[in-house]
Copies of this chain bind each other. A is one copy, B any other.
């Protein structure tokens, strides 16, 4: 007797996908990419979730072709693990990978801070962002601070004239954010400290202290390490 889909774990996937809205007047690929990526990062798709191409495509009422493109990109970022002829699942949480992501981000952003200190930076673009951060930190509005923080770092990268560096950072930042959003608890109250870190980095940049700016930024990014397991290998 043929068994057709015991509804084992497909059900919740359809639920998590039901609110994806595809604008058929634009390219589908990038849209479904963003939709899946957001759901992986905020853990609506827990690690191990099977993302069968046929199932997801049917749920979103699209064909497999643009979906495959999205999955391929996500696999390139390490957010999805594709086992040929077997399955494609959301990548498991990997503390080593998160630590590595923090390492890479710290390296690049420290270099950005160093360059800004060496070349000088026009802080006018940062003022409104800093104001927003101060307010969000005082109100302990985490999501507001989160977005302002993103803009702060992105703006620094653009001021240093390394836009592609920011693109790279975004790809590794996905792993950091996924971890961050997984254990929301350990976050409360950190906004204030992050805000002060930003001020310290800017102080060094203003004074032309290249090594200091790099070190401050490195420490700032590395402070994310406190959330992840200290230094233990994976079991």
Contacts and interface: CB of A to CB of B under 8 A. Distances in A.
A106 interface: yes
A164 B164 CA distance: 17
A155 interface: no
Q: Binding site of A, secondary structure by majority: helix, strand, loop or mixed?
A: helix
B111 A165 contact: no
B103 A165 contact: yes
A81 interface: no
Contacts of A164: 78, 97, 100-101, 104, 172
Nearest to A162: B100
Contact of A110 (B73, B107, B172): B107
Contacts of A199: none
A76 interface: yes
Q: Within the oligomer, what is the number of copies of this chain? A: 2
A27 interface: yes
A209 to B, nearest CB: 14
Contacts of A103: 111, 115, 162, 165
Contacts of A165: 100, 103-104, 107
A69 interface: yes
A38 interface: no
Interface string A111-140: 100010000000000000000000000000
A163 B100 CA distance: 9
A195 B168 CA distance: 29
Contacts of A27: 84
Interface string A137-169: 000000000000000000000000111110010
Contact of A104 (B69, B84, B97, B108): B108
The 7 closest A-B pairs by CB, nearest first: A107-B111, A107-B107, A107-B108, A100-B162, A104-B165, A100-B164, A103-B162
Interface of A: 27, 68-69, 72-73, 76, 78, 84, 96-97, 100-101, 103-104, 106-108, 110-111, 115, 161-165, 168, 172, 211
